């Protein structure tokens, strides 16, 4: 861990599930000197203070980040982009800005435009829940999870080490990726599953045709497969808008795979279906 991290003031902008859990992890472990929370609503700050997730809170962005050594933007992607346009002049020289947004190319491009006295590092922790909000936050959310860091060409080694110290402090595992590769990979393993889950729920709704017994019969398999469709719609809309090309590529590939399964079933090609299912089964068993 970077020697200075224990003395750092960390400001977390956005105290929903991700930001709240991050604050809770840092304060419960005594990982840094002070955790400041910035939120739009005073009630959110009161809750965070009552839960002892933060040491201090404010609704004033400038006041919250003015003395920060590390600022973490933990809001939806488009809000992160908006804040990156204004936050630079508010920060002291050498301050590090890290985000936890689910797409990286657009955010890292915006980070590149930050003033030269600010150090940017892109970030994306690979964890979360379908339920959002501060009341769902927990200090162990990041434990043993992958935390992607995407340093920019202008990111200085000391700034990257500070971000790495944060990852270590919350018990996560660092993986470094360039923004384009990150967006391509998460489009397949995170954003595509959401779109497929939405399609599944809507398909079943159409097939039910008003018969509520359909939903009463739905058991574990349907719940597991459709789970992510219950996610935060604003967050997912931001993801779709900022990772559109990679998600479209993933959707087109999924359509090809589904069409192949459909054609094999139409031809009564049980051997072909079994081969496809076996390949998927074996890959799934290798992964988890």
The CATH number assigned to the domain holding 43 equals: 3.40.50.720
| Domain at 257, CATH number | 1.10.3660.10
Domain count, the chain: 2
Q: Of 177, 202, 234, which closes a domain?
A: 177
Do 205 and 219 share a domain, yes or no? Answer: yes
The number of beta carbons lying within 10 Å of the beta carbon of residue 273 is 15
Each of the 288 residues of the chain gets a pLDDT tens digit; together they read 555 899 999 999 999 999 999 999 999 999 999 999 999 999 999 999 999 999 999 999 999 999 999 999 999 999 999 999 999 999 999 999 999 999 999 999 999 999 999 999 999 999 988 778 999 999 999 999 999 999 999 999 999 999 999 999 999 999 999 999 999 999 999 999 999 999 999 999 999 999 999 999 999 999 999 999 998 899 999 999 999 999 999 999 999 999 999 999 999 999 999 999 999 999 999 998
- Cα(236)–Cα(59) distance, rounded to whole angstroms? 25
Do 110 and 216 share a domain, yes or no? Answer: no
Please list, residue by residue across 134-144, b when 16 or more beta carbons sit within 10 angstroms of its beta carbon and e when fewer do: bebbebebbee
Boundaries of domain holding 201: 182-287
């Amino acid at each position: 861990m970077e020697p200075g991290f224990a003395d750092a003031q960390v400001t977390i902008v956005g105290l929903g599930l991700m930001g709240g859990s991050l604050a809770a992890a840092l304060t419960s472990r005594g990982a840094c000197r002070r955790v400041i929370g910035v939120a739009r609503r005073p009630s959110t700050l009161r809750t965070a203070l009552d839960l002892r997730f933060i040491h201090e809170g404010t609704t004033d962005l400038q006041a919250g980040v003015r003395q920060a050594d590390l600022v973490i933007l933990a809001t939806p992607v488009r809000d992160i982009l908006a804040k990156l346009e204004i936050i630079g002049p508010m920060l002291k020289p050498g301050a590090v800005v890290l985000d936890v947004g689910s797409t990286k190319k657009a955010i890292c491009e915006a980070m590149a435009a930050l003033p030269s006295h600010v150090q940017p590092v892109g970030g994306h922790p690979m964890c979360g829940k379908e339920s959002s909000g501060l009341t769902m936050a927990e200090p162990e959310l990041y434990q043993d999870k992958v935390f992607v860091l995407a340093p920019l060409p202008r990111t200085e080694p000391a700034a990257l080490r500070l971000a790495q110290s944060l990852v270590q402090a919350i018990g996560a595992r660092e993986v470094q990726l360039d923004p384009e590769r990150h967006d391509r990979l998460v489009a397949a393993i995170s954003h595509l599953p959401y779109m497929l889950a939405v399609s599944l729920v809507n398909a079943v709704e159409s097939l039910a045709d008003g018969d509520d017994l359909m939903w009463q019969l739905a058991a574990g398999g349907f719940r597991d497969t459709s789970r992510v469709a219950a996610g935060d719609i604003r967050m997912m809309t931001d993801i779709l808008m900022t990772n559109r090309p990679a998600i479209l590529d993933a959707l087109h590939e999924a359509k090809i795979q589904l069409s192949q399964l459909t054609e094999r079933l139409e031809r009564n090609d049980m051997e072909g279906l079994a081969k496809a299912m076996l390949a998927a089964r074996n890959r799934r068993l290798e992964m988890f």
